[in-house]
Amino acid sequence: MSRWRSRFEVLSLFVVFVIIWEIVVRFLEVPSYIIPAPSLILSRLADLFQSGLIWPHLITTGLTILSGLALGIVAGLAFGALIGVVPPAERLIYPYLVAMQTVPKIAIAPLFVLWFGYGITSKIVISALISFFPVLVSVISGLRAAERDQMDMMRVFGASRWQSFLHLRLYAALPTIFAGIEIASILAVIGAIVGEFVGAQEGLGYLITTLNFNMDVAGVFATLIILSAIGLSVHALARYLGRRMVFWRRADEKSAVLSH
């Protein structure tokens, strides 16, 4: 089946779903503060942009996601490389990292707001922490991905440990690392919103709580659409970069996000 036909079918399914939603809501006269009609959500979405109300929130949350993700990736790469290259580091640090991972980050979000304040910093920290782990784990397992035969081959041809790392293990790790970054890109969005739910003065998470408080459910849905658009864009960017870097892999491999 051609790519465009497949896309057309996916889109058709969505359109059918929205039309049925609209009909059901109108026909059964469901109150808009329970489930708003798609048409109402769309007009609220337009309002949010026309009134300019959305921009400060959008910019704050966008910045939070990008900085949080960047920090999470950098930290994940650094710690992962340390653990992957210096075996004793794994023995010492890894148990703590796993223990930390078992703590639900959402549960400690209030602490971060307490420590770093109601501003953007606490949200960036939460977003970074939550996106840190998939990157870390992917770096550690990725650096083990080189096959034994390939490692032997490097040694036979006189490669030092550093050369084996640079020419083999690093490249062999890239597919796994980018799968981790893809997952992190989605988690960074969740982290930012959770942080804003707990306590913020600005941001899309803050906007959702406010709209919800005012029973503006159509507005909440409209904000959710914006959020998922941000999430999709960040994920698409991560995926695009991954494919460019890991050019030798087949292009038809599925996204790592759903399999996680």
Partner 1 sequence: MRSDALIQIRSMTKRYETRAKETVLALTDVNLDIGKTEFLTVVGPSGCGKTTLLRILSGLESHTEGTLLIDGTVPSGPRPDISMVFQQATLLPWRTVLQNVLLPRQLQKTMSPQVVERARALLDMAGLSEFENKYPSELSGGMQQRASICRALICDPKILLMDEPFGALDAMTRETMNLELMRIWSAQKKAVIFITHSIPEAVFLGDRVLVMTPRPGRISRIIDVNIPRPRDRSSFANPVFNRICDEIREIFDTQGSGATNQENSNVKMAVSF
Contact between residue 118 and residue 201 where contact means Cβ atoms under 8 Å apart: yes
> Closest separation between CB of residue 139 and partner 1, Å?
18
Retrieve residue 224's tokens. 């959710």
> Closest separation between CB of residue 169 and partner 1, Å?
11
Retrieve residue 11's tokens. 């889109």
Q: Is 167 near partner 1 (CB under 8 A)?
A: yes
User: Angle at CA 82, nearest 5°, toward 80 and 85?
Assistant: 105
> Closest separation between CB of residue 44 and partner 1, Å?
49
How crowded is residue 75: how many other Cβ atoms within 10 Å of its Cβ?
Answer: 17
Q: Is 28 near partner 1 (CB under 8 A)?
A: no
**211-250: which residues touch partner 1 (CB under 8 A)?**
247-248
In terms of CB distance, is 7 or 161 closer to partner 1? 161
**Count of residues in contact with partner 1, rule CB under 8 A:** 17
Name the one range near partner 1 by CB under 8 A: 8-16, 93-101, 165-173, 191-199: 165-173
Q: Which residue has the tokens 């550093």?
A: 162
Q: Is 145 near partner 1 (CB under 8 A)?
A: no
Short-list 210, 38, 15, 221, CA closest to 30:
38
Q: Is 158 near partner 1 (CB under 8 A)?
A: yes
Query: For partner 1, which residue of 21, 116, 171, 197 counts as binding (CB under 8 A)?
Result: 171
Contact between residue 162 and residue 234 where contact means Cβ atoms under 8 Å apart: no
In terms of CB distance, is 9 or 152 closer to partner 1? 152
Q: How far is CA 213 from CA 103, 199, 207, in A?
A: 29, 14, 10
Q: Is 94 near partner 1 (CB under 8 A)?
A: no
> Closest separation between CB of residue 153 and partner 1, Å?
4
In terms of CB distance, is 29 or 252 closer to partner 1? 252
Give dist(CA 80, CA 259) in Å, integer: 22
Contact between residue 245 and residue 171 where contact means Cβ atoms under 8 Å apart: no
Query: For partner 1, which residue of 15, 99, 107, 156 counts as binding (CB under 8 A)?
Result: 156
> Closest separation between CB of residue 247 and partner 1, Å?
8
- The DSSP secondary-structure symbol of 249 reads S
Q: Is 149 near partner 1 (CB under 8 A)?
A: yes
Cα dihedral: 255, 256, 258, 259 (round 10): 130
User: Residues in the site for partner 1, rule: CB under 8 A?
Assistant: 147, 149-150, 152-159, 163, 167-168, 171, 247-248
